[in-house]
């Protein structure tokens, strides 16, 4: 079972964000954040990588950049949630499920009004 955070907004589909380490954030850094529309965090991280490349001499620069990558891996999903909250999403609750699909089904079971809204959108 994996924990997922459900964030809802009145005029948009709910978003589920998996808790835990984000391998995509570790490997792709600011590009992973940009793909998840965390623009501010992506810009800050990209600027940090540029500053590390310019100001920190090698081989320390590589070590510092790898350290930043690991920090992003641990905080990437938190930055995603922060970006969603900045766009007006509200934290609904944490769902334990085996997969993202199971978590979505549990969310719609807990919130029948969301399920009704999706049925209207499908019609």
Q: Mind listing the pLDDT tens digit for each residue in 23-82?
A: 999 999 999 999 999 999 999 999 999 999 999 999 999 999 999 999 999 999 999 999
What angle is formed at CA 102 by the lines to CA 12 and CA 109, rounded to 5 degrees?
A: 60
**Residue 2 DSSP class:** E
| Average pLDDT of every residue of the chain | 90
Tens-digit pLDDT profile for residues 90-101: 998 899 999 999
What angle is formed at CA 11 by the lines to CA 105 and CA 5, rounded to 5 degrees?
A: 40
Instruction: Reduce the DSSP state of residue 8 to 3 states and report it.
Output: strand
**Residue 27 DSSP class:** H
Return the domain boundaries, the chain: 2-118
- Strand order across the 2-9 sheet: 12-18, 2-9, 90-97
Q: Torsion angle of alpha carbons 69, 87, 90, 104, nearest 10°?
A: -70
pTM as predicted: 0.84
What angle is formed at CA 20 by the lines to CA 15 and CA 22, rounded to 5 degrees?
A: 80
102 is written with which tokens?
A: 């199971």
For helices 112-122 and 100-110, give the axis angle rounded to 10 degrees.
110
């Amino acid at each position: 079972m994996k924990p997922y955070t459900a964030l809802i907004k009145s005029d948009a589909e709910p978003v589920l964000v998996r808790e835990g380490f984000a391998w995509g954030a570790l490997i792709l850094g600011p590009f992973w954040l940009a793909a998840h529309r965390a623009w501010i965090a992506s810009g800050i991280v990209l600027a940090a990588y540029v500053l590390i490349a310019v100001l920190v001499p090698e081989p320390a620069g590589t070590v510092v950049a790898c350290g930043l990558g690991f920090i992003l891996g641990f905080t990437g999903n938190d930055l995603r949630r922060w970006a969603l909250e900045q766009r007006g999403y509200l934290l609904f609750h944490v769902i334990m499920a085996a997969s993202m699909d199971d978590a979505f089904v549990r969310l719609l079971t807990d919130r029948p009004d969301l399920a009704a809204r999706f049925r209207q959108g499908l019609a």
